[in-house]
Amino acid sequence: MPGRHVSRVRALYRRILHLHRLLPLDLKALGDQYVKEEFRRHKTVGSEDAQRFLQEWEVYAATLRQQANENRQNSTGEACFGTPLSEEKLNDFRDEQIGQLQELMQEATKPNKQFSITESTKTKL
């Protein structure tokens, strides 16, 4: 069944990147980079770790889909993405994971946007 496992991982990876298209551009870029690094980092983990990894990313994908749907229905126009981490969940993290989380938080809360995206005002004839 290794082929089935690999196809499940690839399908989840593609689904997450597809869901990231619904994010604001700066969050999409950050999210895409993070997902790519995490999936690459976990390529060779054992079966038990792989199952937990996949379960967590499945929850992430479901949460992101739900939040995207809620944001579409939100009349204020303000998009809201993310979920607070409980203290219990934080206590389960290893030191390496805490470090990654801190790096991610710093990147996500930088005052200057990484990207400057403007729409073209030229019209095609």
Which band of pLDDT confidence, cut at 50, 70 and 90, is reported for residue 124? very low
User: For residue 77, is pLDDT > 80?
Assistant: no
Closest by alpha carbon to 5, among 59, 60, 42?
A: 42
Most trustworthy range by pLDDT among 53-62, 74-83, 87-96: 53-62
CB neighbour burial string for 17-40, b if at least 16 within 10 angstroms, e if fewer: eebbebbeeeebebbeebbeeebe
Angstrom CA distances, 53 to 13, 20, 41, 78, stand at: 12, 19, 11, 31
Q: What is the pTM of this model?
A: 0.72
